[in-house]
Amino acid sequence: EAQVTQNPRYLITVTGKKLTVTCSQNMNHEYMSWYRQDPGLGLRQIYYSMNVEVTDKGDVPEGYKVSRKEKRNFPLILESPSPNQTSLYFCASKQGSTDTQYFGPGTRLTVL
C-alpha cells in the first residue's frame, strides 16, 4: 500500500530536549516536505526536499532542521524545542511533476 508514515504520532516533551520526527514514504517519490498546522494559520511549509541531499527552506524554517540522505526518508529535527513549536506536523511526498501530494497521518507535538 502506497503510504507516508510518521513516527511518533504523539509526543510530549520539554523545552530544550532534542527530538526527531521520522517520515518515510514507499512510493519512490522525489519530493518530500514538512508542514505544521496551527489553529487559524492553516498548513505552513517548514522545509522541503526535491531529491536526495537537496533541501530548501519553506515559510517557517526557524528552529527546525532536516536531512535527506535516502530517497524514502525525510526526518524533521528540533535541536532545542520551544513551546511555540507545539503543533500538528505533517510530512508529505509527491513525484516531481505531478500535483498529487500524499500526506502522512500527522504527529502531534507538545513542548512544555
Interacting positions 47-86 with other proteins (CB under 8 A):
48, 50, 56, 58-59
How many Å apart are CA 60 and CA 46, to the nearest integer? 5
Of the candidate residues 8, 16, 83, 105, the single one contacting other proteins (CB under 8 A): 105
Q: Give yes or no for residue 99 binding other proteins (CB under 8 A).
A: yes
Residue closer to other proteins by CB (options 16, 106) is 106
Nearer to other proteins, 56 or 79 (CB): 56
User: Beta 19-25 vs 4-7: how paired, if at all?
Assistant: antiparallel
Beta carbons within 8 Å of 41's beta carbon, 6+ residues apart: none
How near is the Cβ of 98 to other proteins at its closest, in Å? 10
Angle at 89 between CA 84 and CA 95, to 5 degrees: 140
> CA of 16: how far to CAs of 29, 43, 83, 84, in Å?
33, 24, 10, 12
Per the structure block, which three cell numbers stand in for 87?
503543533
14-53: contacts with other proteins (CB under 8 A): 31, 33, 35, 40-45, 48, 50
Nearer to other proteins, 85 or 107 (CB): 107
Which residues here bind other proteins, judged by CB under 8 A? 4, 31, 33, 35, 40-45, 48, 50, 56, 58-59, 90, 92, 97, 99-106
